[in-house]
Amino acid sequence: MRIDLEPRTNRSPALEIGAPIAALVAAILLGGLVVALLGKSPTRAFAVYFIEPLLAGWSLQEIAVKACPLVLIAVGLGFCFRANIWNIGAEGQFVVGGLAGGWLAIATHGGAHQTIGGWWIVPAMLLLGAVCGAVYAMIPALLKVWLGVSEILTSLMLVYVAELLLDYLVRGRLRDPKGFNFPQSVTFEDVARLPFLAQGERLHAGVVIAVLAVIAAHFVFARMRFGFAVRLTGEAPRAARFAGFNDRKLTLAVFAISGGLAGLAGICEVAGQIGQLQPVISPGYGFTAIIVAFLGRLSPVGILVAGLVLALTYIGGEAAQVALKLPNDMTRAFQGILLMCVLAADTFTRYKIRVSRTGAT
């Protein structure tokens, strides 16, 4: 048997939208198979993972809150991946952003703002988180631009370094002195928390920031010369150089954007969701966002939808842990399956697949 790929000359819009949906369906079926092999009921698991979270108001809000960091990071990664630049260290940039912004909250804790007003603290935290995320992303970016070191390996290694740094500081300098030696910081004051959108609800202002980031990124890709340069660099790097776009500056720019957005996501998570620094602040958002970016076909609007879908797997996964005793690893395995299905589906939009039984080769 031999399988041949024949490039499609015209790509139909139906296929472009249908492919990720088909991938999702395929991943759910494969995931169901894994659940069945673990000796649990796949239909029950499907209900717990994908249906029940959609039925209650609080869990819908929870999905939006979980989607917030995923979408923010993935929008940034969209810039990198579109330009064929592989920042896979968003998890580390997320941690550094959260750490830097969180440090400001701790440093001002019980401080002068009680007399001069604390309105500036949250914006300053957000800014600091974004800047530090971007600066951390500059390490692999500069090494790539100056020395040609593969950004894949360096950005990934820096994830471990950032996680260990957070762990060190939360157990040391940033630990709450009155916290009975628990490895966590003080709980942030209200002036250092992202405001909630409504009294007593879970939705915080980070959700608005994520939506704004999607709109801005969409505009940049659709209209701006920079978005055109990013797309062209990924599609045909030599043509981009011919167009006069500097690939080094572009590498730095997309790393800064994705690092900045990941850092922003980090501080949004810390200041919005957690409210303090802990030794671990991310259940792998930076890696899940890679899946979000691909499931959303690297387009900002697609990423918004994909972020909600992946957030659903987190919420559903937590529920399944309780209801079905399915380990948390199931969520991660499912996410891996989903990414593989998405990538395979992409091939079907670009090629016609021909399977022939002839041919000895």
Partner 1 sequence: MQTPEQQQQQQQHEPDPPLLRLRGIVKRFGGFTANDHIDLDLRAGEAHGLIGENGAGKSTLVKIIYGLLQPDAGEIFLSAERIRLASPREARARGIGMVFQHFSLFENLTVAENIALALPSAETLHGLRPRILALAERYGLSLDPDRPVWSLSAGERQRIEIARCLLQDPRLVILDEPTSVLTPQEATKLFETLDRLKAEGRALLYISHKLDEVRRLCERATILRLGKKVGDCDPRRESPRSLAALMVGAEVADISPSAPHAQGPDLLVVDDLSLASQDIHGVDLSGISLRLRGGEILGIAGIAGNGQSELFAALSGERLGAGAEKIRIAGAPAGARDITQRRLMGAAFIPEERNGHAAAPAFSLAENVALSRHAAAGFARNGALNFARARQTARDIIGAFDVRASGPDAAARTLSGGNLQKFLVGREILGQPKVLVVDQPTWGVDAAAAGAIRQALVDLAGRGAAVLLISQDLDELFDVCDRVCVMHAGSLSPPRDARETTRAEVGLLMTGSVIEAAHAH
Partner 2 sequence: MNAQLFELVLLTIVTASIPLVIAALGELVTERAGVLNLGVEGMMIVGAALGFAGAWASGSTLVGALCGVAAGMILAALFGLLTIVLAVNQVAAGLALTIFGVGLSGLLGAGFVGLKREGAPHLQLPGLSDLPFVGKLVFGEDAFVYAAFLLVALAAYFLARSRAGLALRAIGDNHDSAHALGLSVRGVRFLAVLFGGACAGLAGAYLSLAYTPFWAPGMTAGRGWIALALVVFASWKPWRVVLGALLFGGATVLQLHAQAASLGLPGQLMSATPYLATILGLVVLSLGARRNSAAPAALGQVFVPPR
**Site size for partner 1 (CB under 8 A):** 23
User: Does residue 270 contact residue 102 with C-beta atoms inside 8 Å?
Assistant: yes
Q: Of the listed pieces 25-33, 55-63, 234-242, 257-265, which binds partner 1 according to CB under 8 A?
A: 234-242
Report how far residue 103's alpha carbon sits from residue 59's, in angstroms, rounded to the nearest whole number: 30
Phi, psi of 146 (to 5 degrees): -75, -45
Is residue 342 a contact partner of residue 20, using CB atoms and an 8 Å limit? yes
Helix (H, G, I), strand (E, B) or coil at 356: strand
Q: Buried b vs exposed e over 199-223: b needs ≥16 C-beta within 10 Å? A: eeebbbbbbebbeebbeebbebbee
50 lies in the binding site for partner 1 (CB under 8 A) = no
According to the binding rule CB under 8 A, does residue 351 interact with partner 1? no
Q: Is 65 in the site for partner 2 (CB under 8 A)?
A: no
* Residue 191 makes contact with partner 2 by CB under 8 A: no
CB of 117 to partner 2, least distance (A): 37
**Window of 102-110, 217-225, 238-246, 290-298 that interacts with partner 2 by CB under 8 A:** 290-298
Does residue 190 touch partner 2 according to CB under 8 A? no
Give yes or no for residue 246 binding partner 1 (CB under 8 A). Answer: yes
Q: Which stretch binds partner 1 (CB under 8 A): 28-36, 166-174, 239-247, 309-317?
A: 239-247
The item of partner 1, partner 2, none sharing an interface with residue 10, based on CB under 5 to 8 Å by kind, is: partner 1
Find all residues with CB under 8 Å of 178, minimum gap 6, and list them.
Answer: 186
Round to whole Å and give the CA distance between 353 and 290.
26
Q: Which window, 96-104, 197-205, 241-249, 336-344, contacts partner 2 (CB under 8 A)?
A: 336-344
Q: Which of 228, 279, 305, 323 binds partner 1 (CB under 8 A)?
A: 228
Structure tokens belonging to residue 305? 């939808």
Only segment of 40-48, 111-119, 219-227, 334-342 that touches partner 2 (CB under 8 A)? 334-342
Q: Distance (Å, rounded) from C-alpha 151 to C-alpha 15?
A: 33
Is residue 236 part of the contact set for partner 1 (CB under 8 A)? yes
Closest CA to 348 of 28, 78, 18: 18
Asked if 74 is part of the footprint of partner 2 (rule: CB under 8 A), the reply reads no
Residues 6+ apart with CB under 8 A from 188: 102, 105, 106, 109, 271, 275, 276
Which amino acid, residue 143?
L
For partner 2, the binding residues (CB under 8 A) are 3-7, 34, 38, 81, 86, 88, 143, 147-150, 152-154, 156-158, 160-161, 164-165, 167-168, 172, 287, 290-291, 294, 327-337, 339-340, 343-344, 346-347, 351, 353, 361
For partner 1, the binding residues (CB under 8 A) are 6, 9-10, 223-226, 228, 231-232, 235-236, 238-239, 241-244, 246, 358-361
